[in-house]
Amino acid sequence: ATTDSGVKVIVRMRPLRKDKDEGDPIVQKISGDSLSINGRTFTFDSVADVEATQLDIFEHVGVPLVENCLAGFNSSVFAYGQTGSGKTYTMWGPANSLAEENVAKEQQGL
């Protein structure tokens, strides 16, 4: 019998940048829980593709975390990835979101 560790791994793929990213992407989403990197398939708890919005990520990651906290369970988010992969944007939102209070709800970070 397997046990649930409570740890979930969710991958968010960032869109290609027109000014720096050239050629065909080496990472491709295969299904809701797997992606391919240079032809090798990897499976996670969930994969959010380049079309995922900040609101989508909040509903998929943030809401369950808050519900778990309110139920008395410790929760945390560990954002890991290469420099420039979108961790800060996912967590905080656009660069002006910390200075301005009028950032649209759908742009706010996790």
Which residues contribute to the annotated binding site for ATP?
A: 81-88
Q: What is the C-alpha to C-alpha distance for residues 21 and 36, in angstroms, rounded to an integer?
A: 18
Are the C-beta atoms of 33 and 45 separated by less than 8 Å?
A: yes
Q: What are phi and psi of 67, to 5 degrees?
A: -60, -40
Q: What is the C-alpha to C-alpha distance for residues 109 and 103, in angstroms, rounded to an integer?
A: 10
Are the C-beta atoms of 88 and 81 separated by less than 8 Å?
A: no
Numbered residues of the known binding site = 81-88
